[in-house]
Amino acid sequence: MLRTDRVYVAGHRGMVGSAICRALARDGFENVVTRTHRELDLLDPVAVREFYAAEKPDVAIIAAARVGGIGANSAENAKFLYENEMIAMNTVWGAAEAGVRRLLFLGSTCIYPRMAPQPIPESALLTGELEKTNEGYALAKISGLKLCEFLRRDRGLLYHSLMPTNLYGPGDNYDIVHGHVLPTMIRKFETARVSNEPIVHLWGSGSPLREFLHVDDLASACLFVLGLDNPPDLVNAGTGREVTIRQLAEMIRAATGCRAEIDWDRAKPDGTPRKLCDTRLIRSLGWEPKIRLEDGIRRTIDEYRAELARGTIRL
Ligand code: GDP
């Protein structure tokens, strides 16, 4: 990818897309193309085709998706499958038809089987059953990455994919019911601290293990793989460090300064027991994360407080 390239970032208002836009701006890319959801409906294949024909980007980064935490996904697998499948097919196929030279498709490590070996290598793809709570999302992302792989093989297009582990950072969704665990915990502990509530209710047993990557590290991983002449079809991006949900809760409670007790609601799902990605491939190519979880959490809490004060938070 060259600094003079015209780069389309799909989903530039989301947490991932906005981090990628910040990284592109920092690296001197001045020709970045974006469209808001209102301007371009990525579920509409005709609109997407017309957009590509008019804008003719050289490179596309597909960071648009319907995302949500375990609550949102498990309640609406159909919607997560349909919308993400449409977004993937329209943005990737549309790019190929319009002659977009290079494309990076973003997914998530939930594409891997529930009982994949840990840490999960890229080779675990399609070797077993998926986790049921986010099966729709995972199936759509698998289709998208396969479409990139097929287009690269069939037509020689440099289309490839990157699968990040659980992400967090500025611009996250802080919805209590639909959000991911880390932002939701920040909101719950902050709310309890401010209003002096004695108990914070969290979900599941607290024993599942998760890995968390700051979105600015993810953005650097995206630009890194886009700079490779011969990138892998599929590469994981993570920190290689995991914590239990209980440890995460203790870290966030301490970082917010909240004193509330934690109540674990075991009627809520735990989801997959462990989800640590094998990051040897991307590290061997020369990328590594820079933001420690403790520092990232502190930064994110500061940004949450600032966003809340400004009234720009997504709740
Ligand atoms: P996942 O990583 O795809 O399973 O999705 P999440 O980011 O929603 O993380 C879910 C894990 O955090 C599960 O083990 C939940 O039981 C646990 N968890 C604990 N409290 C909460 C909470 O308040 N919200 C969410 N979304 N998950 C929670």
- Which is the closest atom of ligand 1 to the Cα of 272? 4
277 - beta bridge partners? 120
Instruction: Count the residues in the chain.
Output: 315
Written as six digits, the tokens of 191 are: 């709310």
Of 167 and 73, the one with more pLDDT:
167
Q: Of the candidates 51, 55, 58, which has an alpha carbon nearest to the alpha carbon of residue 91? A: 51
Say how far apart CA 139 and CA 131 lie, in whole Å: 11
Please tell me the predicted confidence (pLDDT) of residue 70: 84
Contacts of residue 190, defined as CB under 8 A and 6 or more positions apart, other chains included, come to 256, 258, 301, 304, 305
Residues taking part in catalysis? 137
Q: Which amino acid is at 82?
A: Y
Per residue in 99-115, pLDDT tens?
A: 999 999 999 999 999 99
Instruction: Answer whether 174's CB lies under 8 Å from 190's CB.
Output: no
Contacts of residue 248, defined as CB under 8 A and 6 or more positions apart, other chains included, come to 181, 182, 185, 210, 212
Going by pLDDT thresholds of 50, 70 and 90, the confidence category of residue 85 is very high
Say how far apart CA 72 and CA 66 lie, in whole Å: 10
Please tell me the predicted confidence (pLDDT) of residue 314: 79
Please tell me the predicted confidence (pLDDT) of residue 71: 83
Written as six digits, the tokens of 58 are: 């050289």
Per residue in 36-53, pLDDT tens?
A: 999 999 999 999 999 999
Query: How many angstroms separate the alpha carbon of residue 229 from the centre of ligand 1?
Result: 37
Nearest CA to ligand 1 atom 15: 270
Q: Is the CB of 68 under 6 A from ligand 1?
A: no
Of 75 and 160, the one with more pLDDT:
160
Per residue in 249-268, pLDDT tens?
A: 999 999 999 999 999 999 99
- Which is the closest atom of ligand 1 to the Cα of 182? 7
Please tell me the predicted confidence (pLDDT) of residue 312: 87
Mutate to test the pocket of ligand 1, among 109, 166, 184, 203 (most ligand atoms within 8 A of CB): 203
Look at residue 313 and tell me whether its pLDDT is greater than 90.
no
Mutate to test the pocket of ligand 1, among 165, 168, 174, 180 (most ligand atoms within 8 A of CB): 180
Any idea which architecture 7-310 has in CATH? 3-Layer(aba) Sandwich (3.40)
Please tell me the predicted confidence (pLDDT) of residue 102: 98
> How high does pLDDT run on average in the chain?
96
How much is the pTM? 0.95
